[in-house]
Structure 1
Amino acid sequence: MAIKVGDTIPNFTAKDTKGNDFDSQNLVGQKPLVIYFYPKDNTPGCTAQACSFRDQYEDFKDMGAEVIGISSDSTASHQKFANQYQLPFILLSDPDKKIRHLFGVPTDLLGLLPGRVTYVADKNGMVTMIFDSMKAVNHIPKALEAIKKLR
């Protein structure tokens, strides 16, 4: 069952770029969140998306929000990706796609590609916006606009 606007972000755990355990309960309900699912590290669209989130990261932080990127890549891949592009936000590894399934992120291109979906949640953990588009750079202005509306 896919998450809808008005639902609460579910609890999940994953490994971050340093191999540390990340628990969503430490952030959900504490501050606004932008959680974005993307297909793969170091691909043109995903790199453009990550760099756009990086370039606007201070704007998100200034509004009290945290950005979290999730893909099925390994922590080692995420670490290399984050270092190469100086990504300041959290990247989580979802190798078994459990988190992707928990959120109900669809696949694209006849099920061949993991979907690209951004979720924005308010400081109570309630989803206020879902943006599903393979156009990578369109996610950042949509997420910023949604976070601004929460203020």
Structure 2
Amino acid sequence: MSKSDPNPYSLPPDLPVPQDDGACAHLPDRVVPDIMLTATEGEQWNLAHIAQARAVVYVYPATGVPGKDPIPDWDAIPGAPGCTLQSLGFRDHYPEFQELGYPVFGISGQRSEEQAEFKHRTLLPLVLLSDPQFQLRDRLGLPTFQAHGKEFYKRLVLVLRAGKIHRVFYPVFPPDQCAAMVLARLKETS
């Protein structure tokens, strides 16, 4: 790996901090719509059904794909780097989320085949859902950004309860501490 290539297992020393642009202020108390998303195992999941009980959904831009060149200057985009570390945090804290009764789901705009490779490589126990048509952007107004002609979701976390968005974590920083921060807040309010 060259010095200019991002290392998905560490954060760059000069990681840019994303600013709260208000892009998620409209989300608390919104009803979660019927949106069908494909999981890494190929099955379809309805986001509205996931939200009926309670769940944690972390939304991330994209993870690196072996053999595929990274997006140029990815580490310079506020909120872009750190998807692997964010996911590993949810993997490592997964049993604690389960104990609190919160299944964990990850969502990105990547194809499910890319997500499946990532899930297998990192031993993620949770479900990753693919939204390459950006239905969550269109139906809920989730924020996105453009990089080198491609669209990506901005990093955020939704806590779902009783069919609605109960709480939103946005912006998420630093990404490697995301799962621990969400878990701490859930423990405070449970």
- For Structure 1 versus Structure 2, the TM-score category normalised by the shorter chain is 0.7 to 0.9
SS in 2 for 1:130: strand
- Which of 57, 63, 75 matches 1:41? 63
Match of residue 166 from structure 2: 128
Tell me if the contact between 1:70 and 1:92 (Cα under 8 Å) persists in the aligned partners: yes
Tell me if the contact between 2:89 and 2:177 (Cα under 8 Å) persists in the aligned partners: no
- Which of 28, 33, 37 matches 1:10? 33
Which letter maps to 1:70? I
Match of residue 155 from structure 2: 116
Identity of matched residues, %: 27
TM-score, normalized by length of structure 1?
0.85
Task: Please give the residue correspondences for 1:46-85 in structure 2 after superposition, counting only pairs within 5 Å.
Answer: 46-85=83-122
Higher radius of gyration, 1 or 2? 2
Match of residue 44 from structure 2: 21
Structure 1 unaligned residues grouped into runs of 5+: none
Report which of the two has the higher share of helix.
Answer: 1
SS in 2 for 1:51: helix
Report the count of equivalent residues.
147
Match of residue 186 from structure 2: 147
Tell me if the contact between 2:28 and 2:165 (Cα under 8 Å) persists in the aligned partners: yes
Name the Cα RMSD after superposition. Answer: 2.1
SS in 1 for 2:56: strand
**Structure 1 CA distance for aligned equivalents of residues 48 and 142 of structure 2:** 20
**Structure 1 CA distance for aligned equivalents of residues 189 and 30 of structure 2:** 16
Structure 2 unaligned residues grouped into runs of 5+: 1-22, 66-80
After superposition, give the CA deviation of every residue in 1:34-87 in whole Å (9 maximum; x if it has no partner).
111100022851000000000000000000101111111111101100000001
**Structure 2 CA distance for aligned equivalents of residues 77 and 94 of structure 1:** 12
CA 1:103–1:139 in 2, change beyond 3 Å: closer, same or farther? Answer: farther
**Structure 2 CA distance for aligned equivalents of residues 145 and 134 of structure 1:** 14
**Structure 2 CA distance for aligned equivalents of residues 78 and 138 of structure 1:** 21
